[in-house]
A and B are shown apart, each in its own frame.
Chain A
Amino acid sequence: MDTILEVRNLKKHFPTGGGMLKKPEQVRAVDGISFAMRRGETLGLVGESGCGKTTVGRTIVGLYKPTAGKVIFEDSDVYTTQNRRAQNRKRQQMQMIFQDPYASLNPRMTVGDIVGEPLDIHKLAVGKKARQKRIQYLLDLVGLNPDHINRYPHEFSGGQRQRVGIARSLAVEPKFIVCDEPISAVDVSIQAQIVNTLEQLQEELNLTYLFIAHDLSMVRYISDRVAVMYLGKIVELNTSADLYARPIHPYTKALLSAVPIADPPLERQRKRIILEGDVPSPINPPPGCCFHTRCNRALPICREQTPEMLDIGGGHLVACHNYE
């Protein structure tokens, strides 16, 4: 397997509260996750808000420093690389597309400058002409009109702004892109446009995506494999077709059964697994399996022992004491 990225036991804790006489508590946003990604694949990362999926993405691209664990990109550790030059090169190959196309573009910069900024930082386009040509090529690539290079973000619609964000991330010719909920802020009819553009670019440029989202049906459509997160941990990871057809972990089952389907007769027949209560606080995660407080099949062992990730065949990983 041509592995492009490997995450080993990654942890990211944020201190919170505390004061002069009080020790700060730790929010365990990401609490020991591991996975590997093949070159050219899309790995979907799903889970409820607050489960740490965005933190995983941000830690991988280097926006946060991990508390513990390793991120290995193309055979070298992203964080222990001492040489600043080498580190910058690494960063250039990992980019990110952000969730909110309204907040992630500087309103006082033209679209040309927004897309051109990474080119300037990494000195990828020498000369004004070459820079402009490259920017126009990028705008065209993501389906925007290249003549709009001097327009400002407010002159574009939500979907178009998200395309500007995609063009910016592609400017430095990355190999790996973290897509952090790129479609959750745009309308239904535009979502399909953006997703199709992302797929087309992946084919053309041989990109690898980590696709973070909470829309499970869209994740199934775009991803080759899907990882389900709960309270800072991955609970199940499998190929997307198989995960949706044959979920093993009780949380995955509940999550999938909660997704409404736009088919009234089918929807009336479905039996929902309704999870009681809310996600526990990541400051004080429950001992043992983090899901046992809401699990309808919890055993005594689930309260005491944290389940290990087990490969139950064909790369289907699941962390549950009670799988069959």
Chain B
Amino acid sequence: MNPLLQVENLQVEFKTYAGTVRAVRGVSFDLNPGEVLAIVGESGCGKSVTAQSIMRLIPSPPGRITGGSILFDQEEILNKSEHQMQRIRGNNISMIFQDPMTSLNPVLNVRTQITENLRHHKKMSQDKADARAVELLDLVGISEPKARMRSYPHELSGGMRQRVMIAMALACDPQLLIADEPTTALDVTIQAQIIEVLKNIRQELDTAIILITHDLGVVAGLANRVLVMYAGNAVEKGSVDEVLCDPIHPYTWGLLQSLPRLNMGPEDKLEPIWGQPPDLLLPLDQCPFLPRCEYAMNICTQQRPPFFNGDSSHISSCWLHHPLATKITRPQEVE
């Protein structure tokens, strides 16, 4: 089976007054049909920029994709013209944005916003598109979908708006759905509802999903595979069980240690990652995590670590995995 999406060594830059920000610095991953890949990392690590590159939504200028390739269905996305991209966006690849308050059009009702997609890409008649829109609203769990068609975004709550966003994204049966922090702006109870909706979609429609988030809990419930990003680099890749239960990169350890665990006693302390993420203006010829890493060695200051294959699917870019490196046991809290 061919992967649906193959991203190879993707590099994205932004020109700013302060200099060139190299936001994504050589990220590679692939995605099979029907699979959920989670990209996790802190703000500014390049996860949203990676997603926007796949849709070719990087504003240019100041942004520019300077290298790498993105193959979608064996076709190079980066060589497509703007006209060709417009036929792909919303049709083959669609996106859910973080903030449902600002990403819906406030002056158009739900019906117009969902059917626009169907009319444009599938050339449906308005009647047919209406019927399909009602089906979609029902699929994402909106009660009384017919009545809701006439609603405007301000009449809906945050969770309902996010459901409408998902319905819009699913309108044309895309092969790939990119969800950029779909639950960050929502409350936990509403977040749980939206996660259920995304799970259902995966089971019923077999859509591949790229889930971008910083919440490792959401990842655990939804994803098949995980890509951990730090300062524009992919630092660890593997299946969700491998990365969260058996992490091998010090940054992933740090992330898991700084989360409160349910079995913590009153005397247990959180172990934060000290320091700040690096400035993306600087050229990086060392490990990006070096200043915050307590296991740093000499080699880390001199060369960026390549990916080491522990086994075939679970890999990490850290010099600790070099055969000659001293063996280090993981901090106990991560176990």
Chain A positions near chain B (C-beta within 8 angstroms): 48-49, 157, 159, 187-193, 195-196, 214, 216-218, 220-221, 241, 244, 254-255, 257-268, 272, 274-275, 277-278
Residue ID in chain A nearest B276 by CB atoms: A157
Contact yes or no, A217 B258, CB < 8 A: no
Contact yes or no, B189 A254, CB < 8 A: yes
- 3 closest A-B pairs (Cβ-Cβ)? A260-B217, A192-B272, A262-B216
A267 CB contact (under 8 Å) in B221, B254, B257? B221
Contact yes or no, B272 A263, CB < 8 A: no
Over the window 100-115 of chain B, the binary record of Cβ atoms lying under 8 Å from chain A Cβ atoms (1 yes, 0 no) is: 0000000000000000
Contact yes or no, A218 B260, CB < 8 A: yes
A278 CB contact (under 8 Å) in B43, B160, B270? B160
Residue ID in chain B nearest A51 by CB atoms: B187
Residue ID in chain A nearest B159 by CB atoms: A278
| A271–chain B nearest beta-carbon distance, Å | 12
Can you list 12 A-B contacts with CB-CB less than 8 angstroms, sorted by A residue number? Answer: A48-B187, A192-B270, A221-B264, A244-B262, A260-B221, A261-B262, A263-B245, A264-B220, A264-B241, A264-B245, A265-B245, A267-B217
A189 CB contact (under 8 Å) in B189, B196, B244, B255? B255
| A254–chain B nearest beta-carbon distance, Å | 6
Residues from chain A with Cβ under 8 Å of B219 in the complex: 262
Would you list which residues of chain B between 172 and 225 have a CB under 8 Å from chain A? 187-193, 195-196, 214-221
Would you list which residues of chain B between 244 and 293 have a CB under 8 Å from chain A? 244-245, 254-262, 264, 266, 269-274, 276-277
Residues from chain A with Cβ under 8 Å of B229 in the complex: none
Residues from chain B with Cβ under 8 Å of A278 in the complex: 157, 159-160, 190
Bound Cα distance from A90 to B192, whole angstroms: 42
Give the size of the chain B interface in residues (CB under 8 angstroms): 46
Contact yes or no, A188 B214, CB < 8 A: yes
B215 CB contact (under 8 Å) in A260, A263, A277? A260
Residues from chain A with Cβ under 8 Å of B214 in the complex: 187-188
Q: Answer whether A255 and B188 are a contact pair too, CB < 8 Å, given A196-B272, A262-B216.
A: yes
State whether the Cβ of B116 lies closer than 8 Å to any Cβ in chain A.
no
Contact yes or no, B195 A260, CB < 8 A: yes
Bound Cα distance from A216 to B191, whole angstroms: 13
A-B contact number at CB 8 A? 113
Contact yes or no, A217 B260, CB < 8 A: yes
Q: Answer whether A258 and B192 are a contact pair too, CB < 8 Å, given A189-B255, A192-B272.
A: yes
| B150–chain A nearest beta-carbon distance, Å | 19
State whether the Cβ of B55 lies closer than 8 Å to any Cβ in chain A.
no
Chain B positions near chain A (C-beta within 8 angstroms): 42-43, 143, 157, 159-160, 187-193, 195-196, 214-221, 240-241, 244-245, 254-262, 264, 266, 269-274, 276-277
Residues from chain B with Cβ under 8 Å of A217 in the complex: 259-262
Contact yes or no, A220 B217, CB < 8 A: no
Contact yes or no, B262 A196, CB < 8 A: no
Bound Cα distance from A189 to B228, whole angstroms: 14
Contact yes or no, B272 A189, CB < 8 A: yes
Contact yes or no, B266 A188, CB < 8 A: no
Residues from chain B with Cβ under 8 Å of A260 in the complex: 191-192, 195, 215, 217-218, 220-221
Bound Cα distance from A268 to B245, whole angstroms: 13
Residues from chain B with Cβ under 8 Å of A216 in the complex: 188
Residues from chain A with Cβ under 8 Å of B254 in the complex: 189
Contact yes or no, B266 A241, CB < 8 A: yes
Q: Answer whether A262 and B256 are a contact pair too, CB < 8 Å, given A48-B187, A48-B189, A274-B193.
A: yes
| A224–chain B nearest beta-carbon distance, Å | 9
| B30–chain A nearest beta-carbon distance, Å | 21
Contact yes or no, B196 A274, CB < 8 A: yes
